[in-house]
Each structure stands twice: as C-alpha cells, then as structure tokens.
Structure 1
C-alpha cells in the first residue's frame, strides 16, 4: 500500500463501492446515471456503443461519448469526492445530478472497472477506477490514478497538489507519480500502450467532451453478460433471465424494461440531446404527445413536507459528521505545526501540506453543505407545484400506468397507484 501513497484517493472505502452500486436495482437506471451526466454537461450528442474485446469479462466494453463541456483536472478530482459536485451548487436547479455520485454508483453497477477520458482547453485528463486492481492488490482504500496531458504535444503535465491559496490549487509535475499511474492503467485497463490511450482522447473530436469506458461487465449466473448485445445489433437489451423479479416472460414485460433504446426514447420529459445507441439514432419523444386527448392539471401546495423533512434531517446528520471531521483535521494540523516547529525537513513539510489541503477541503465541503441546508430550510414554506397530465394510450392499450418525472427525468414508469395517503403529503 505504501507504494501507492502518492496517488489520488477517494474519500470512501473499497467496500462502499459495491454497497453504493446496489442502489440500482434496475439495470437501465444505472445506465441512465451516465446519460444524465452528459445531459447536465450540456452535451448535444451522446453516443453509446460497445466494442468487442475477448480479453475482458463479458467479451466487450461499453462506451459513452459526449460533446459536453468536459472537465479540468480539478473537476475530475472532484468526481471521486462524494458531495463535491459543482452541479449541486449551480444556479440551474433543473440539473438532474446534484451530488456527484451517479458516475460511481452507475458505473460500478454495470461493470467492475471504468476509465474516463475528458478534454477541455486542449488538456486531456484521465480518471481510472478499478475494483479489479483493488481486489488483486488487496487494497481497502480507493486509489484513483489521474494522469493529465497536453493533447497538442501528448506530454504529461500537472498531477500533484503544490499548494492551495484562496480556494485555488496549483500543481506541479511528479514524474514518479505519473509513471506509476500509467503502469496501473496499462496493466488493468483495456488500453495497453500510450498510442491506444491517446486514440481514446482522439475519439473526442469536439473542443470539449468526455468519454467513459466501462469494462469487465457484470455476468449472470449462467456466465452471460447482464447486458445482451447479441440479439439486436442496434440495441442493448436486458436478458429475460435477469428480469425474473418483474415478469415471467418477455410478452408481459413493457419494452422500456427490456430495451435501452425504448427506455432512452422516453427518458426525458423535454428531450434535447441527440442519443445514438450502437451507431443508430434514438428517436426521442415527449410522452404527453403520444397520448390521445391529454389533459393537464397543476396542483400547488406548501404541504409537501415529509420528503423535505427527511432531506433536512439527512443533511443535518451529514453536516454534524463533516464538522467533526473538520475539527479533527484542524487539530492534526495544529498539532503537527507545533511538533515540527521550524524544521526544514521536506518530508515533514510535505506531510503538513497534505493535512492543510485536506483540512481546507473539509472546510469548503462544510460551508457548501451548511449553505445547502439553509436553502432547504428556506424552501420548506415555499409553494411547490405538481403537474399531472392525463391521456389515453391508444397505440398500446396494455401500456397503462403512471410515469413519474423529476427535474424532467423519468424515475418511475408503469406504476399502478391507489388513492394517495394524505399523511405522506
């Protein structure tokens, strides 16, 4: 483990990667997390496709390629830190992702490993997160190599925190760290050479964008991939044997539960992103426009308290835990400052600098969470609106039920609901 001390580490344990991924009981829901990230990044185009690779578990890897805003090194660093998503504090409240958790939970539900390539201002940054690496090396702390390159010269650049002043990091280049990062990526990823690695950056043909590769996909009890890419060359399906909890046979299963293409078609209330699956475009549609004689009803109330109160209690517990961690980090910094005094030892100063950066990060997170809690409390008394749209599905009379959209994204479909319980409102 000591040999990896210089590498970036996520603020979570290895066991939590699995626990976090199990929040997705519906396989397409995990894929939707990655689609949401592209939409939130302002992408106009998203390509989802598979590439065959017999050396990998499942025999292929799954790729998401978008032309969104891309990320700088700092942004990529924040991806691996829970609760440090810039989207959570963005003025655009219609963004779907808020906590920076969707990439990790969604990717880890689909596959054992993923590698991310992102491009912005001619700088390419790579993020590598591999459970295979952690299992083979018996490592409990999550280590995330993050090499960074100037794409014009293909030379490695900034990769090590130097100092943090007024909330802004500066970086220096650590050759030993970079070589270790590249060693791990070449050993545990599908891309074994620098040429193969830069080919992935070259797939991002727009000035900004992101490419995510999921590999070593999850298998069923029969040894087949959970994602079926053989039956339909232009779609990604869920094998019926992996859907026993829903229905017994495909004839009784709505197409959106079986086909990623059908699911992506109605995933957003206001489709504004061109999605292609297996090189063929998805024809998106607004669900209300498919209904016969739709009617709309808006219900306004200040009584949607139960969920808000739950969110506030959860946020208060997180804040209490974070403040305790911040106090402990500050104590460690003060203790080390008193211990080392005016020593000129580079090792001690490097240790102090790491602790100071960690304490500054925790302070920043605490301020963000406290502001978020204050915002939630102020919104408790504001009037909220629920929009109900009713209509007849005359194209498929069996396809009835309630479809629920939150922030414009489908979260439930084909629900059969009874009379609402006023106590839960």
Structure 2
C-alpha cells in the first residue's frame, strides 16, 4: 500500500500494541518522486495529507459535468496517445450504477499512476497544448462525483491497479491518504491468444494480501481473478479504465431519461402542489445577463457538453455506446462569419504569451443563445459568456455568438473560469468588447444596427468594398430608375430609402414618381425602431418578458398577444414588414409597436414604472410617425394612435429624485 503524502523513506517503527499499524505495516514504498537529498530529508518532517483533503478539494467543482470533464482531459492530452474514449454507465450491483471512462492510450507505469493519485504532481504545465497544470484534476473531479475510484491501466509489458477510496479511509479512521496498489507483469506470448499476468509489486506476499484484502472489502471486486477480469475489459493492447462507484447521494444524474446520454436531474419543487413554469429548463448554470427560462442543453446533457468541450478534438468520444459527433463552435457561426486579426496583449508572462483570436457571427437557426465560448489550449473554459451590450437591458447583440481562442489566459484549477484579476484577462475582455462593436456596427449587415449606418460606422476592412459598390450603384442609377416600374425585378434590393421632404406638409418626398411612392416603403421604420430601443426607458420592452424572472407568473395568461421591440427588430430583419404595392407591411409594423404599449398598459396599473415608460415611448413613436407620414396618410397609419393613452408630456424637472425602487416586477411588452 502506498502513502500519498510521504514520498518514500523508511517506515517509522510503531508500538507493537498498535494493531492497526500492524495491519498496514507496508505503507511506504520506494521513493518515486524527485525530492531533497537524504541528509536534509533525514532531519525534516514530512507534510501529511488528511483524507478530508480529498473532500475539500472536490468542492472546487460546483457543476458535476465539469468534474466529469476532468477525467476526459487526461485522455485528450497528447502524452496519453489515445484515439478513442468511451464513457459508459454500468451496474456494479443490481440497481447500483457506476460511471466508467476508458481510453486506448499508452497506459501508465506504476510510478506514473502514483503521480496521478498524488497532489500537485503534474508534467503538463510546460507541455504545448495541455491545459492542466495543478496536478489535482483527477482527484477533485473523481471525488466530486463518487466516494471511490478504481483505476486500471495497462501498458507494454505491465499492468497496474489502484484504489482511491474515501469509504476505506473513513472506515479505518486514517489520518493520511493510503492507496492500495498492485502491479503485474504482462505476458502476451501465450499461444491461446490470452494474456497472462504475473504478480510483480508489492513483492512481499503479506503486503500483497493486505492490499488485496482492502480491494475485496471496499470494492465490487471480490477476488484477484475479478480484478484481472475487470482489467481485461480494456479491450485494446494498452489503455486505462476508470470506474467511479459509490456515486454521491442524492444522485445528481438521470441515467434513465435518455439511454444514450447522462443528464442532470431536474429541479424539483419542495412543495408538490407548487406551480412550476413549463418554460423552465431541466438545469441551468447561472450566467450574467442570461434569462432563467433559457434552455441550454450543454448545462445538463453530457453529450451536448462533450460536443463542444474541445475546439479541435483529437480523439473520438463515445457515450453509452453511441459515438459523439463534435459540434464546431466556429462552424456554428455560419451567418456573417468574421475572424478578427490576432491580438497579443502586452505585459503577459513570456511562457503564456500567445495571440487572442476572436471569431464572430450568427447561427443559422434563430435562438436566444448569445455570448462567447472561450477556449484555452483547445479546452472550453467559459460557455455563452456575455460582454458589453449583451449584459444590458436592450436587444442589441442579443443573438451574436462568438468564439475566443485565448491561450494566454490563466484558467482556475477547476477549468470552469479564468483568473479575472490577471491583467491578461482585463485586456482580453476589452479586446472582445471592441471586436463586438466593430462587428455589430460595421462588419455585419443583416441586423438592425447595420441598416442606414453608412460607411462611417463600417469596419475598416469593409470600407473600401463599400465605396466601390457605391460607385457602381451611382453609375447605374439612371438605368435603375428606368426599370422602377418593374416591381418583381432584381433591382428591388437596391431601392433607396424613403426620404423626408423639407416641407413638413409634403410628407414623403414629392419628387418621387407615383409608382415608386405606391410601393410599401418601410425604410424609415428601422430608424424609428432604433430610436425607441435606445431610449433609456426601453429596457422593459426590448425582449420578451421573462415571467419567472420578473415574478409575474400570470403574465402570459393575461396577455394573449405578447410583443416586444426585439421581436419586431427580428421581423424587420427578415423583411416581414416589406410588401410591394400594399399597406399591409407598414400597418403590421405600426400595429406591432402599438401592441407593445397596449400590453404594458393592460398588465400594469397607472402610476407603475413600466406603465409610465410605455407612455413616454408611445409619445415618441406617434410624434415621429406623424412627421414621417405627413398629411397624406394614404395607408391609415395614423388611425388608432395611442396619444390618448400616452397623455401629455410631463413637465421637465431640473433635478429628479431617486426612484422609490418599485418598478422591477412589471410586465413589459
């Protein structure tokens, strides 16, 4: 048996009356780690590691799937040499599940296995491409999920088995971490094709039997033959198999819902009769700016999480017998994809100096997911991390996605966050926010912010192309005007926006011909909607009401037609308000905007903060709409205006008193 906290040396002589010591007389084996020379070691005391260290170290993992990922990282590392990793659920006894992780790597020698089970011994820090560096990942991850972990490994000519068990340590009231460990020589020269195992270490028969007695009592393997049978489940010549058994209770995993997945259990209410929101996800990690009702499968599904865990996976993962198909976080940015130039922050230690690469884009399928996946040395550290406007109460950048390759940042030891006090992280955050602004207001052209912004707001990389396009349009302007009567022509995409006449009574530009004016021009609407969304009082209306977050569970029962500015912006982007030769599109736009105000007035009482915000925005909308339409309201856009509900504008105040804090619970659009 090996003592974890003490690297070798002669075992102290114990009193003969100490029966416990007699049972575990061979606690210390030969020295396997580099340490101080013998004269110094002979006069200094060794530091011991109490078994409670395993439990306290495991608390660094709040999220169980993050703890399980620690076991996958070892197989992903290049020195493992693995090409396949299999994660499975097996029953070690009837109705008693265990989690197994098995790879086909090169395996570990006895000394390497000892290092793996010791604290702080890591050879990964200076290996290119490995994110691990603290030497505690396996211990913290395995002990977060289970009370016991059995490690079986086979390499060329040698096989070893070790047990890391808090059940055993607590049972003997140990004050140091003791590891039962065996090593066999492997002979594969037999004619039957079966390999044979020859006992190697411990070489002393008594020590071997003492170690085996621990395995037989505290594991599901009741003999040496059963141990070797479990070892032979490594069906490749070399590899490693980890079995996590005696899983933590109450169980955090659901193994039955999906037989091809391992999922987190849903949150159950303490009161059986309590009304639960049907929009609540199975499980959700807290992220600043994220709605409580947003469903993020990567938070509760191991399969979904592994699909994005590595930016460029080097091994093939299989979960419960079914292959996992990786989802490239970069390939997901299929719409308006753009990669920014590499940026290397100054002041970073030389060993971590590497460029930061930012990728931005939109997903093909519209969703409420937004933010950045941040990878460090190919490993996902932060998921859907929001920055800048994504944290504010507006609809800007709310569907923008991104990927950041940031090898210069320093992850925390649980690999779920970064050291935010590091200067490199501060500079990286500023760079990401700058890239977001450059992308949203310059590079991309399909969202509301890109309409009517002009070349001044374009990203420098796009300005030259934009100028060339402007010249081409100018050269063919006369030709396009001659084809203006052809509503279905390809030139519809080059239509110039509505212009306002200098004469306020003229309404729309009187110089436009009758045919062009007859078209359903909606170009002023993006500008008007943008003005509403940027107003300081629009935060309650810029996205759908999160009834659970705001504490208004009956909102969608009382409001039959929910609407918000963010939804209108999306429909505007999709061209839903553009109809040729009819008033349907403009009327639909005006109706939807007014619906936002009516919903706020219906759900909230006069005097409520949200009720007043709706009045303020309604006055702005109706006033600007009247200026755009003028006196020639041929489509009836001004009919049914909300000025009567909005009321007169309040008297301007020199200094406003602080709000009394009551506005948080109202429903917006």
2:57 is aligned to: 20
Does 1:36 pair with 2:73? yes
Does 1:154 pair with 2:197? yes
2:358 is aligned to: 388
Q: Give CA deviations for 1:80-105 in whole Å, capped at 9, x if unaligned.
A: 2222223334xx31012223321111
The match for 1:93 among 118, 128, 139 is 128
Does 1:178 pair with 2:217? no
Unaligned segments of structure 1, at least 5 residues = 160-172, 309-377
Whether the aligned pair in 2 keeps the contact of 1:405 and 1:411 (CA below 8 Å) is yes
Displacement of 1:203 after TM fit?
1.3
CA distance in 1, matches of 2:381, 2:201: 40
Q: Give CA deviations for 1:122-153 in whole Å, capped at 9, x if unaligned.
A: 31101101000111111121100111112333
Whether the aligned pair in 1 keeps the contact of 2:308 and 2:327 (CA below 8 Å) is yes
1:414 is aligned to: 384
Please state whether the residue corresponding to 2:339 is helix, strand or coil.
Answer: strand
The match for 1:278 among 301, 320, 323 is 320
Whether the aligned pair in 2 keeps the contact of 1:112 and 1:215 (CA below 8 Å) is yes
Whether the aligned pair in 1 keeps the contact of 2:117 and 2:164 (CA below 8 Å) is no
Change (3 A) 1:405 1:286: same
1:353 is aligned to: none
Q: Which range moves more in the overlay, 135-144 or 249-258?
A: 249-258
CA distance in 1, matches of 2:379, 2:331: 16
2:351 is aligned to: 379
2:310 is aligned to: 268
Displacement of 1:277 after TM fit?
0.6
Displacement of 1:294 after TM fit?
1.8
Whether the aligned pair in 2 keeps the contact of 1:238 and 1:259 (CA below 8 Å) is yes
Aligned residues: 331
The match for 1:300 among 343, 359, 368 is 343
Change (3 A) 1:250 1:277: farther
The match for 2:144 among 109, 114, 119 is 109
CA distance in 1, matches of 2:226, 2:123: 31
The match for 1:133 among 168, 179, 184 is 168
Higher relative contact order (CA 8 A, sep 6+): 1
Does 1:239 pair with 2:265? yes
Whether the aligned pair in 1 keeps the contact of 2:70 and 2:138 (CA below 8 Å) is yes
Please state whether the residue corresponding to 1:157 is helix, strand or coil.
Answer: strand
CA distance in 2, matches of 1:422, 1:231: 42
Please state whether the residue corresponding to 1:86 is helix, strand or coil.
Answer: coil
Does 1:257 pair with 2:299? yes
Q: Give CA deviations for 1:187-228 in whole Å, capped at 9, x if unaligned.
A: 1011112222112211112221000000011123xxxx1111
1:191 is aligned to: 221
The match for 1:227 among 253, 272, 283 is 253
CA distance in 1, matches of 2:366, 2:199: 55
Displacement of 1:66 after TM fit?
0.3
Displacement of 1:235 after TM fit?
0.3
1:327 is aligned to: none
Please state whether the residue corresponding to 2:388 is helix, strand or coil.
Answer: coil
Displacement of 1:304 after TM fit?
4.8
Whether the aligned pair in 2 keeps the contact of 1:11 and 1:82 (CA below 8 Å) is no
Q: Which range moves more in the overlay, 274-283 or 290-299?
A: 290-299
The match for 1:124 among 159, 165, 185 is 159
Does 1:80 pair with 2:117? yes
CA distance in 2, matches of 1:260, 1:226: 12
Whether the aligned pair in 2 keeps the contact of 1:7 and 1:145 (CA below 8 Å) is no
Q: How does 1:273-422 map to 2 (within 5 A)?
A: 273-292=315-334, 293-305=336-348, 378-379=350-351, 383-418=353-388
1:326 is aligned to: none
The match for 1:7 among 19, 27, 35 is 27
Displacement of 1:27 after TM fit?
1.0
Change (3 A) 1:421 1:146: closer
Larger proportion of strand: 1
Whether the aligned pair in 1 keeps the contact of 2:299 and 2:305 (CA below 8 Å) is yes
1:347 is aligned to: none
How high is the TM-score relative to the length of structure 1?
0.72
RMSD after superposition? 2.6
Change (3 A) 1:421 1:177: closer
